[in-house]
Chains A and B, each alone.
Chain A
């Protein structure tokens, strides 16, 4: 096959407010070869049942900091860290220290906090000029304040760390020196934060992890502590903020869907799930794995040594699982989408993200009965070359 015939991945977001067109016929083959932004090639698993099963398959290692694994980006190693073992049992040990902070009870305890912050931000937005950008006026301050509250990070520091996090997640937006500078600054900032928590512990998650680390080095190394705090911060706001803004833009482009929610706010939960299914933030490059042995699928063998991605977005479009997968059904039942992954690496923050999306979307729609886009829909731009590719700005009027 010639290089030109191998499709580029991540797939382009066309049409703009729907699932990518490239997903239409993808499941004819169980595995397709794709070309990453680095130019390297990798295998993409396309069918729901395979994606779901392989998320739980120990023959696929998540340790991609090894020679021969396809590089996602030419300029950035992203989450690959040779000092972190992301497979069981090491990963299971560390993950167990974090999950307790994300149980349903803890997350429901944060729901009133999310409402309070939403209301406060909407007050400010309402008193300010129109149009307002949903990213800056609402989604980022909201999600950052919630995760900072949980982790014990001063939310006032956000102007600093946002720049570094954007650099950390650059796939092809920034040159390598700039990425390196951002990564170093973020690492240093979090190191200082950890030292502060060591001296003056609070009731937050970072303090709890520092305590675990200082009591028993075998449970958590200093590097693991640092790495997890960084991952929790980054995954804790950027994904949810992008999802919120992109989902809202999709809704505002479809007034019929907004009316459905306004007529019955009890569907907010299933609406959020459907928007998660159809507007998966970024792509599945974060699922990159390495095949430790040959893995036979129906009519195909993933060869040992392959770099493999499990396509959450293709699984979410699987017509054998979802009725009319390219349509938006805000009341869809049994919507077991793959947006948060599956198996033992299932997104730690899924319940938090769901709660924030439900609260933020309901609070926004209730506050502004005439909310609409402040620009023509075609003028919106995605953050191409970033990790998530959400809309860079979504001006709204009310």
Chain B
């Protein structure tokens, strides 16, 4: 799995950080999303997909590589 984000669209809902803190964080300056682990381990896939589904601005992209 590869995870990427469109930072410009981020509305700082924080939902992704609460759902998968191992993968998503927020920038201290503007509050927008930052990906800290773009290739997360398989045990996180479900939570990453959930974070992508819940994103109010659909700013999270998940690509399957396996």
**Could you list which residues of chain A lie within 8 angstroms of chain B, going by C-beta atoms?**
55-56, 95-96, 99-105, 107, 334, 336, 340-348, 350-351
Contact assessment for A104 and B18 in the assembled complex, using a CB-CB cutoff below 8 Å: yes
Once A343-B57, A346-B11 are accepted as A-B contacts, the answer to whether A103 and B26 lie under 8 Å apart by CB is yes
Are A350's CB and B30's CB within 8 A?
Answer: no
Give the nearest-CB partner of A100 in chain B: B31
B29 contacts A by Cβ under 8 Å: yes
Task: Give the secondary structure class of A's interface.
Answer: helix
The 8 Å CB contact of A348, one of B12, B26, B32, B58, is B12
B-chain residues with CB within 8 Å of residue A350 when the two chains form the complex: 13-14
Within the assembled complex, what's the spacing in Å between the Cα atoms of A334 and B58? 15
Question: A205 → chain B, closest Cβ, in Å?
Answer: 12
Whether A336 and B11, one on each chain, are in contact in the complex, defined by CB atoms closer than 8 angstroms, is no
Chain B hits for A99, CB < 8 A? 11-12, 30-32
- The smallest C-beta distance from B5 to any residue of chain A, in angstroms, reads 15
CB neighbours of A96 from chain B (8 A) = 30-32
Assembly CA distance A341 to B9 (angstroms): 15
Q: How far is the CA of A56 from the CA of B55 in the complex (A)?
A: 12
Total inter-chain residue pairs, C-beta < 8 Å: 64
- Chain B CB count within 10 A is highest, among A102, A103, A334, A342, for A103
In the assembled complex, the CB of B2 is this many whole angstroms from the nearest CB of chain A, namely 23
Whole-angstrom distance between the Cβ of B7 and the nearest chain A Cβ: 11
Q: Which B positions have Cβ atoms within 8 angstroms of A?
A: 9, 11-14, 17-18, 21, 26-32, 50, 53-54, 56-58
Per the bound structure, the CA–CA distance linking A165 and B40 in Å amounts to: 46
Structural contact, A341 and B56, CB atoms closer than 8 A: yes
Would A340 and B13 be within 8 Å (CB), given that A99-B32, A104-B26 are in contact? yes
- Does B11 lie within 8 Å of A100, measured CB to CB? no
**Chain A hits for B53, CB < 8 A:** 334, 336
Residue from B13, B53, B57, B58 with most neighbouring chain A CB atoms (10 Å): B13
Which DSSP category, helix, strand, loop or mixed, fits chain B's interface?
loop
Question: For A346, what are the chain B residues with a Cβ–Cβ distance below 8 Å?
Answer: 11-13, 56-57
Contact A105 B26 (CB under 8 A): yes
Given contacts A340-B13, A346-B11, A347-B13, 10 further A-B contacts (CB under 8 A): A101-B31, A103-B14, A334-B50, A342-B57, A343-B11, A344-B9, A344-B11, A346-B12, A350-B14, A351-B18
| Given A56-B58, A343-B11, A348-B12, A103 and B17 contact (CB-CB distance below 8 Å) | yes
What CA separation (Å) do A99 and B50 show in the bound complex?
Answer: 23
In the complex, what distance in Å separates the CA atom of A104 from the CA atom of B26?
Answer: 8
Across the interface, A344 reaches (CB within 8 A) one of B31, B50, B57, namely B57
Residue in contact with A102 in the complex, picked from B18, B31, B54, CB distance below 8 Å: B31
The answer to whether A100 touches B28, judged by C-beta atoms less than 8 angstroms apart, is yes
B30–A100 contact, CB under 8 A?
A: yes
* Contact assessment for A103 and B13 in the assembled complex, using a CB-CB cutoff below 8 Å: no
Residue of B nearest to A345 (CB): B11
A residues within 8 A CB of B17?
103-104
Cα(A341)–Cα(B11), bound, Å = 11
B54 contact set on A, CB distance < 8 A: 334, 336
Contact B14 A104 (CB under 8 A): yes
Complex: A100 Cα to B13 Cα, angstroms: 11
> Once bound together, how far apart are the Cα atoms of A96 and B31, in whole Å?
8
Give the docked Cα–Cα distance between A102 and B26 (Å): 10
Q: Are B57 and A103 touching (Cβ within 8 A)? A: no
Interchain CA distance A383-B32 in the complex, whole Å: 36
Min distance, Cβ A107 to any Cβ of chain B, angstroms: 7
**A residues near B9, Cβ cutoff 8 Å:** 344
Among candidates A95, A101, A105, A351, residue contacting B13 with C-beta atoms closer than 8 Å? A351
Contacts of A95 in B (CB 8 A): 11
Is the CB–CB distance between B58 and A102 below 8 Å? Answer: no
